[in-house]
Every structure is written in C-alpha cells, then in structure tokens.
Amino acid sequence: MSTPPEPPQQPQPPSDAPAQPSAYPYPNPQSPAPGGPLGFPPAAPAAQTGPQNVYAQPTLVGVPAQPGPGQPQPGNPYVQPGPYPVVGPPPARGGGGAGRAVLWAAVGALVASAAWAAGVFLIGAGDDADLRGYTAPANLCNATDYSSFKDEYPDTDGAPTRNRLEDDALDEGLCSISLKKTTSTYADAYLYVQLDLHKKTDPGPEFTATWKNYGDSHTGYDVETVTGIGDEAYLVSDDTTSGSSSGSLYATLAVRDGWVTYTMSYSAYYSSYDDDTDPPTLDEVSDMLKTDTRTSLADLRD
C-alpha cells in the first residue's frame, strides 16, 4: 500500500516578524490577566491557540489601578477643616453639627496650649512673672461662674470635660460645659473656658496680635475692645443666625491681666429641627460672657 503524500507545508513568517493583529482589536474580557494576585509571581502564560493580540494592554503586577473620573484621587482624603477652636481664633465661616463642638474645642485647646508652651521654652526666662495673685485651681469647672448662662440653660451638665497642666513655665486649666434647656433632648450650646498662668514669659504681644487684629484678616468676624476687664480684653464674634431658623453663633471673650490670660467662649449651631426655638441673641450672649468672666476672674484671685 502506498503512503499518501503529506500535505504541503504552509510558508511560515520569519521568527522576527510581528504577530498579526486579531480581527477584534480590544482585549478579550474573558481572558485571564497575565499577572497573578498582588504580591505573587505571575501565573504561567496559557498556551496560545492563535495569533497574539498586539492591542491588548498588559496587567502590571503590584501597580494599583488608577482612579477613574469622579473618583477620589490618592492622597486627597476628605478631611473637613477644623471649625471650632474656642480658645484660639474663631472658626472659619460655615457650620457643622453641634456634636463636633466638643471635639474641636479639645483640638483647639491642645493647639493653643502647644503654641503657648513653644513660646515659653523658645524665648526663655524673663522677669518675675506678673500673675496678679491668680492661682490655677485643680478643677476649673468648679471654679468657673456661668450663672448668667444657667438662666438661659437651666439643665446642669453632670459630666463637664476638664483638664489641668502644672509646670514650671505654665499652669493651665481647661473646662468644657454642655448647655441645655429643660425642653431639649440634647445639648443646645457649648461653653468653653481656659485659664493660663504664664510663669516664664509675657504673653502680652502675642495675645494682642491674636485677638485685636483678628477681624482685619478674617472676613465676617467682629472684634470689640472691652474695657473694665483686666489689662486688655476683646470680644470676637460671628453670627449667621439673623433672619433665619438656622446658622451658627460664636462669641469668645479673651482677657489678659498681667501674665495671665483667660478666655470664655460660647458656640451654638441651629437648624429648623432643633428643640431650642428661642435661642439667645448675640447681644445677650455677649453680656453673659462679660458678667461671668468678671465674676470668675475675681474668684480666681481669692
């Protein structure tokens, strides 16, 4: 029996000739990616049953995919700027929930304290501290008179937040109090108090620069010079509640008496859903701050 002739061989392209493109010019979505899981070596390539697709894009192992349009970019977390430091400069315009106030009060206190401490250690010791007979109590909340606010907010905060620092350079007391009306379910406003006894440096120049000139560089804030309290005092305020049932009201009274600084701050954030339908006005809050600051400073000198 004769052997049938072999079929003629098809001519092969040279080994260095480019592969012919597929009729479908995009990667096959069902084809497995050439790389293995992140952190592992690539899987062995599957046997090719046809010409390679030169238009397919390789998957790079260990390189994260780039975000598409409208997705958050790397390194850009959604962090809201800190809005309510009550012992430093007032917050930027715009409100947040009332629940943020205590958190940002603590952050503001920490930043302010660090700034004062930095000044103390960098400048060094000066003349004898002019403390005017003030002492830093172990519990500033117990030593703070806020009876004017109790007329407006009769509910007592059973667990105010407080802290104390005692050092050769600085004695400091902090207190944060929630203010609440009897008809309200949650706190309606917040009161924050800070006392600093600067025992190594005079805080006067920085205190004046911080408070007296604040309105010059921050649109929307009013600065009032207050007489009759300490060596110098400033009331800084921002009220966005006028003519509406929502907005925020911020006011802080900052006082310097010798090398002692004292701030009492009020903050409230209103919406049409709040239980408090008759909040105090800015003028009323300002009078409360002045009255209670005078009383508290006198008590701290006894």
Report the mean per-residue pLDDT for the chain: 72
Q: Region 170-188: what's the mean pLDDT?
A: 92
Residue 6 binned pLDDT confidence (cut-offs 50, 70, 90): low
pLDDT digits (tens, 9 = 90+) for 47-97: 444 455 444 444 444 444 444 444 444 444 443 333 334 444 454 444 444
Choice between 16 and 181, residue whose per-residue pLDDT is larger: 181
pLDDT at 37: 40
Percent of the chain whose predicted confidence (pLDDT) is above 90: 44
Task: Give me the residue spans of the domains in the chain.
Answer: 100-300
Domain 100-300 in CATH 3.10.620: no
pLDDT at 160 > cutoff 80: yes
Instruction: Give the whole-angstrom CA distance, residue 238 versus residue 246.
Output: 14
Confidence bin at 273 (pLDDT 50/70/90):
low
pLDDT of amino acid 141: 96
- For 223-240, what is the mean pLDDT? 96
Q: What is the pLDDT of residue 68?
A: 46
Report the percent of the chain where pLDDT is more than 70. Answer: 55
Pairing of strands 170-179, 189-198: antiparallel
For 110-146, the pLDDT digits (tens) are: 444 444 444 433 334 445 899 999 999 999 999 999 9
- What's residue 82's pLDDT? 38
Q: How far is CA 163 from CA 157, 166, 168, 196, 238, in A?
A: 16, 10, 17, 12, 27
Mean pLDDT of 208-230: 91
Q: Kindly list the distances between the CA atom of residue 2 and the CA atoms of 5, 7, 108, 211, in Å, as whole numbers in the listed order.
A: 9, 15, 100, 111
**Exposure of 12 in the CB half-sphere (CA atoms within 13 A):** 4
Alpha helix segments (H runs only) across the chain: 100-123, 140-143, 147-152, 204-211, 214-217, 282-300
Q: Give residue-wise pLDDT tens across range 182-210.
A: 888 889 999 999 999 999 999 999 999 99
| Between 10 and 221, the higher pLDDT residue | 221
